[in-house]
Amino acid sequence: MITYAIIDDEPIAHRIIEGYCAELPHLQKAGNAYNAFEASTILTGKRVDLIFLDINMPRMTGFEWLKTVTNPPKIIVTTAYKEYALEGYELDVMDYLLKPFSFSRFLQAVNKITDQKQEPAIQGYKDSPQSNHFFLKGDKQHHQIHIIDILFIEAYGNYVKVFFDKEMLISHEKISTLENLLPQDEFLRIHKSFLVATNRIKRVQGNQIFLENHTIPIGPTYRSRVNQLLSGK
């Protein structure tokens, strides 16, 4: 679990970042600060692994405050001003996000921190590869996953979305890891971003695969795999 704090004088910035963080189950909020003095209070009272730091704030800028902190947490700058980028990297910030930033750009920045700290998401399967179930961490819990229930898996940056008939789970794991772990005769990589359960495929039409209520594209470099499936080889 990675704890984070938001330091920004604009309430809307807090809401946007909190909304993005809510999509990432391994992030937990430690506090909100609207100026440098509130930020110091949070660091004094709680463990903070990551700070989303604005620059232009009243009385003391974000960088002025950062220079006063001994052994600061990881910093991701969130600002509307690109001219401070050089100074930010001199202060060893992890990334520099220009407002307004998309979720994909936000995710790219957070991944730089989570790749360093994240514990393994898969439990109880590597040591027993013939098992028909495993535990996958998501939403701050370990969920027991029965292989037969998986519909398909979608890459989501350094995360995956695991789809079932009526629900979906986001986990900090790479699709290539799950591809290597799951039975190769039951799951087929049909796109760089999709791994499907072959027994759940309803039909194949053109460059698309249909399963339940989902339509998934077939990547050009993966077409031969689908052709082998269709030919029964």
The CATH 2.40.50.1020 portion of the chain extends over 122-231
pLDDT in tens, the chain (233 residues): 789 999 999 999 999 999 999 988 888 999 999 998 899 999 988 889 999 999 988 889 999 999 998 888 999 999 998 887 777 777 888 899 999 999 999 998 998 886 555 555 566 554 444 568 888 887 767 889 999 999 999 988 768 899 999 899 988 788 888 998 898 889 999 999 999 999 999 999 999 999 988 999 999 999 999 999 988 76
Question: The CATH number of 122-231 is which of 3.40.710.10, 2.40.50.1020, 2.60.40.790, 2.60.120.560?
Answer: 2.40.50.1020
**What pLDDT is attached to residue 127?**
46
Separate counts of helices (H) and strands (E) for the chain: 7, 16
Q: Left (φ > 0), alpha (ψ -120 to 50) or beta: where does 206 sit?
A: left
**Quick one: fold of 2-117?**
Rossmann fold (3.40.50)
The CATH 3.40.50.2300 portion of the chain extends over 2-117
Which of 60, 62, 47, 45 has its CA nearest to residue 8?
A: 62
**What pLDDT is attached to residue 233?**
62
**What pLDDT is attached to residue 125?**
53
